[in-house]
Amino acid sequence: MSFRISVSGSAADAVRRVVPTLVEDLVASSITAQNPALWGADVESEAGKRLGWTESVAISRPLVAEINALRETLHAAGVTRIALAGMGGSSLAPEVITNTAGVNLTVLDATDPGQVLAALADHLDSTALVVSSKSGSTVETDSQRRVFERAFIAAGIDPAERIIVVTDPGSPLEASARAAGYRVFNADPNVGGRYSALTAFGLVPSGLAGVDIGQLLGEAESVLATLAIDTLENPGLVLGAAMAAANPRRDKLAIVADGTHIVGFADWVEQLIAESTGKLGTGILPVVLDLNAPELSTDLPDVQVVRVVADAGDQVFSDQDGRDEIRVSGTLGAQFMVWEYATVVAGRLLGINPFDQPDVESAKIATRGLLDSRPTPEPAAFIADGIEVRGTAHVIGAASDLASAIDALLEELGPDGYVAVQAYVNRLALPQLAEVRSKLATLSKRPVTFGWGPRFLHSTGQFHKGGTATGVFLQILTTPAEDLSIPERPFTFGELIQAQASGDASVLAEHGRPVLTLTLTAPAENLDTLFEALA
């Protein structure tokens, strides 16, 4: 079978208790039939135009030949590198698809000027850019497109020969792209971004980079019949119940790659679950962990562990050596489909709309306000060995140095809380910053998430503001060594990433969330200071 799942402990109890009702209510077949009434009358209007992903395999099949033909045309023109400008679902699915296939794709879902400059400097003469956005209004993607256009022109390259656009039909981006002579692929408008892995958003950049996207669709197709049938063994129902119906609730989902061939799957599913469920004060918070994560050696009652393994076995119910876990295995295409079904099942069980993201826009509005008004930056509360320290009053008021500021933030944690690290930095230059996650987990003895900014704003950002109000937030910024202007925009990339961090911090503070912001003015030197404070 292309997908297997086994459950134990409280997850198994939830499956035994809830799945029979889901079967009786014909939930699986109703999802496949795109019945928008499954999530209540208030959701019906939006759900009616957001269930197209259930038939993505059939709708996307004709794209395969078209994408492969374009890849051959680009190769004939000397293009050997594909870059992708996109955020959220537009970048996370192609990233896991290409990484799993061992194919190179430059994913640019960043606004740090150093990271953007690095993407521009890497073999531009043999590069084609895929610009992916449902509307084209995403500020990050629009800005990335503008600097690539400028770079192509400066290099004597016609942008119309190197830029491919993926967008919804009738969008402003489609109109401007066609006017510019760009190749345009229209995506299914009845699919939300985080459910778009098997649409043009996932397939165009992956196929152009060299992935066998026909095989990927075949993997997904192999599980469709199983997902559509109302049975107790339906993996979408089993996984959805295991995630959302434990009693008492386990609202943190620790996702661990443990023997799977899939590379980076947790980063994709993190967005799917967090943005779909984190609203109305509830939700499921995905926590991406490695095998040595401190959280796995602590019995945290609000954490459900999911292991993505090589083979989950052929029995749904398993004692798994007495551990309380969910185990899943399967091909990447099958995983995409099962987790999408499971997520909307979880939404029904939680009583929320799994298709909207009502709190994402608040950070965008705050960012636009800061870019328009250009206020004087808030002065640091204090500076510790080159690290500027800012934060909400309860955190900063109790701090006198870097270590005490971190302690003050962690003291705001409740027994069911979590820490979110938000790193608005060049992740190519500072990959070691990710080590902060495990250090904080050891210190706090609570789950810790880690997100590169602004990428996470299109993923866990919804949960941070709309989900359970139990998080505390550590922002890490840098002072860029160089900046990059954006054509026909009154702000630079350096100003944009600063506004994104400040805007999100202000919205979190308005929601009563504790925030500590650390700005590394000399990152190479400041990292040692930061790690010492976390020791």
The per-residue b/e assignment along 133-156, b for 16 or more CB within 10 angstroms, e otherwise, is: bbebebbbbbbbbbbbbbbbeeee
Mean of the per-residue pLDDT values of the chain: 96
Residues 6+ apart with CB under 8 A from 297: none
CA distance 75 to 63: 18
For residue 298, give the DSSP letter. S
Per-residue confidence (pLDDT) for residue 529, from 0 to 100: 96
CA distance 105 to 445: 36
- Write out the two tokens for 394: 């309860």
Cα dihedral sign for 222, 224, 228, 230? Answer: positive
CA distance 54 to 52: 5
Report the alpha-carbon angle 429-99-420, nearest 5.
55
Per-residue confidence (pLDDT) for residue 375, from 0 to 100: 83
Per-residue confidence (pLDDT) for residue 8, from 0 to 100: 95
pLDDT under 50: residue ranges of the chain: none
What pTM, to 2 d.p., does this model score?
0.97
What HEC string does 118-139 produce?
HHHHCCHHHEEEEEECCCCCCH
H-helix or E-strand spanning residue 257 = strand 252-258
| Phi, psi of 47, rounded to the nearest 5 degrees | -60, -30
Per-residue confidence (pLDDT) for residue 320, from 0 to 100: 66
